[in-house]
Structure 1
Amino acid sequence: MRIPLRISVVLWAIILVVLLGYSISRLLFFKSIFFAHAGIRLTQPQVATAAVESKEAGASQRVQHIPKIIHNVFHNWHVPGDDTLPKDMAEMRQTCIDTNPDFEFKLWTEKMSRDFIEEEYPWFLRTYDGYRYPVQRVDAVRYFIMQHYGGIYMDLDNGCKTDLTPLLYYPLWTTDGGRGALSNNILGSRPNHPFWHRLTLSLIPYDWKWPLPFVTIMYASGQWFLTAMWEEYHALLPRPVAGDAAKNAAPGHEHRLYRVMMDMAEGADPWVFFSHQDGGGGTWNNWDNTLFAGIGDHLLLFFVVLFAGLGLLTWVSVRCVRRYRKKKGYTRLSNRSSSSVA
């Protein structure tokens, strides 16, 4: 059965509009990841200074929101069942133990993590077990830990330079490298913050198996996912009060979350609280990580190529439709053919 020309043209037009609309929506999403973030920006020196000034002023009204507990997650993908930390990770963790002796420390192994999900969040266990890449379980369990216990979560390639107590006075914060997506390598939160409820409930609808491992990990549970949830959460908040109105506002009117800066760029604000192991991280890298790292380093060129590709696709589609229309059109018979028919 042949599709009439007009219907085929309409179908092609609908397909192009859908592709273009989807591409624009994805570009807007990537804009929120790479170019602007909601929330309140805090440098580590600002956090330290605020703590000193509060102590000198004897400000007893300052509220500690986050409990004194530091969580680490270690899932041994190479030797399952062996929960002994590699030497470099153990050394980084020890820096936090040494500088925070009054904190509780909890190391979540693979079995402990699964048992925790099964006991406290059984509705998520099927998704948790079904993740294609092991690092996605590490990503997911940290969010549930923050929701359930609160405290500070830290990747094992991060360490501590000093006491982390000044960071406990902000209800919820994540770290921001200053470029690209927000980071989920260090998190701080009070228990049962509504942000974590929204985020954990979104893990299932975001559990797509994309063709590229990097995209699956980052967008289904990793940094892109966290950033998308961050922006969605802030979009639902009332606009922040500013100026004199802020002084007269009721306590607790500010619901925005905090971004603690951890920029590695030259000339960026110094790191007061955290350290990072040289060459650390990347245990979950796949073949396409290098590809996306290159895109991140040449973001403008990437968007130029993307728009050029969309333009080329549109041009080719239009040419194909015109050629199809010309091919199926009427052609005048020659005189010889006409006479033979007569």
Structure 2
Amino acid sequence: MRLRSVTALLLVLSGVLLVGVVVPGILRFVHMFGAHAGPALTQEEIEAAYNSTLGEKTRPQRIPKIIHQIFHNWKDPGSDTIPDDWDEVRATCKKHNPDFEHRLWTETASRDFLSEHYPWFLNTYDGYKFPVQRIDSLRYFLMLKFGGIYMDLDNGCSRDLTPLLYYPSFLTDGGKGTLSNNIIGTRPNHPFWKLVTDSLIPWSYYYILPYFTIHYASGQWFLTAIWAKYFARMPADADEDDNIYRVMMDMGEGGARWVFFTQGRGGSWDNWDNHFFSYIGNVMVPWIVRNVLWFPIVGALVFGGLFWLRRRRRTSKKGYKVVEGNMA
């Protein structure tokens, strides 16, 4: 009886854990790959609004003319020499935006900035297991403090970025999966980036696998989860200056035309599990989300079929009994 009671208690506790923690956690995780809240704009729409006589030129410029980029040389620490192909891509932004301030944040400059303005974050910053996490977190603090536009070094400019400056804040949406942090822009002290930077320490866990840790502790999965949290808290009558937009940057077939940006070589960070989980995150999970309504139906059909086969096997045995033969 005592063993049965312990077993029953363990089953109850397991059920509570499953229903109260595991299932909600899985649902929150899957939800990140679904439709996102907040207004979305294509680059063509931004260009058209700026060129319109009643468009963005009549509104105040919110984002300062600063382009931030980060270069931490992991292969040759201490060297601030950018690879030639990235330097060429960066030159396109200088060419098309000569009146912008172009800031390149090296490892030393990055840590000095945090030490001066956000010393409370240094222990977490220094303690990140993967160097790319320092770059992820640093860009959020740069946005909060200075505003401007942040761009990864493998993204270039195909024209003047001024039309983007008339929105209070934006990040990029590839049209599938999670939101992206490769190109972001904002006015200084925007409340979204305050929420993001305040959330970095509570999320700074090691999730066993490198891909999970990088994305969920500071990268795109983290940013998407905070995005959902921000819009869930935003009141209906929130000021436009506190809004944040999704700029669509779908590189797939049928995606909206790119106007302002180009894409060069990526691969600044790579781990053994990167490609595998990238496929899961960008292909498998969105497919599951799109087809989630089919899973209960398929599950019910499979369960019903197995139940019917079991019943048939049991009824087919009725009427038969074992007859013992006489032993000679």
Task: Report the TM range for the smaller structure's normalisation.
Answer: 0.7 to 0.9
Distance 1:197 1:42, change over 3 A: same
The Cα offsets for residues 80-138 of structure 1, whole Å up to 9 and x where unpaired, read as: 00001000110110000000010000000011101111111000000000000000000
Are residue 135 (structure 1) and residue 132 (structure 2) matched? Answer: yes
Q: CA deviation at 1:59?
A: 7.1
Instruction: Give matches, 1:254-333, under 5 Å.
Output: 255-277=242-264, 280-296=265-281, 297-299=283-285, 300=287
Task: Report how many aligned residue pairs link the two structures.
Answer: 292
Q: CA deviation at 1:287?
A: 1.0
Q: CA deviation at 1:253?
A: 5.1
Distance 1:37 1:240, change over 3 A: farther
AA at the equivalent of 1:126: N
**Does the Cα contact within 8 Å between 2:146 and 2:188 map onto a contact in 1?**
yes
The Cα offsets for residues 301-321 of structure 1, whole Å up to 9 and x where unpaired, read as: 6999xx99xx9xxxxxxxxxx
Give TM-score scaled by structure 2 length.
0.84
State the alpha-carbon separation in 1 of the partners of residues 228 and 55 from structure 2.
36
Distance 1:254 1:100, change over 3 A: closer
State the alpha-carbon separation in 2 of the partners of residues 52 and 137 from structure 1.
38
Q: CA deviation at 1:261?
A: 0.4
State the alpha-carbon separation in 2 of the partners of residues 180 and 58 from structure 1.
31
AA at the equivalent of 1:179: K
Q: CA deviation at 1:265?
A: 1.2
State the alpha-carbon separation in 2 of the partners of residues 226 and 119 from structure 1.
24
Match of 1:90 in 2: 87
State the alpha-carbon separation in 1 of the partners of residues 125 and 20 from structure 2.
32
AA at the equivalent of 1:42: L
Match of 1:169 in 2: 166
Are residue 115 (structure 1) and residue 137 (structure 2) matched? Answer: no
State the alpha-carbon separation in 1 of the partners of residues 31 and 120 from structure 2.
30
**Does the Cα contact within 8 Å between 2:43 and 2:248 map onto a contact in 1?**
yes
SS in 2 for 1:269: coil
How big is the alpha-carbon RMSD for the aligned residues of Structure 1 and Structure 2? 2.3
Match of 1:325 in 2: none
Are residue 222 (structure 1) and residue 219 (structure 2) matched? Answer: yes
State the alpha-carbon separation in 2 of the partners of residues 223 and 119 from structure 1.
26
Are residue 52 (structure 1) and residue 38 (structure 2) matched? Answer: no
Question: Which of 140, 143, 159 is 1:146 aligned to?
Answer: 143
Q: CA deviation at 1:291?
A: 2.1
Q: CA deviation at 1:12?
A: 2.5
State the alpha-carbon separation in 2 of the partners of residues 62 and 227 from structure 1.
29
Distance 1:254 1:147, change over 3 A: closer
State the alpha-carbon separation in 1 of the partners of residues 30 and 55 from structure 2.
43
**Does the Cα contact within 8 Å between 2:66 and 2:148 map onto a contact in 1?**
yes
Are residue 72 (structure 1) and residue 69 (structure 2) matched? Answer: yes
**Does the Cα contact within 8 Å between 1:173 and 1:259 map onto a contact in 2?**
yes
State the alpha-carbon separation in 1 of the partners of residues 130 and 167 from structure 2.
33
**Does the Cα contact within 8 Å between 1:32 and 1:231 map onto a contact in 2?**
no
Match of 2:18 in 1: 19
Structure 2 residue runs without a partner (length 5+)? 300-328
AA at the equivalent of 1:259: R
Match of 1:331 in 2: none
Sequence identity (%): 54
AA at the equivalent of 1:93: R
Q: CA deviation at 1:255?
A: 4.2
SS in 1 for 2:231: helix
Question: Which of 174, 177, 185 is 2:182 aligned to?
Answer: 185
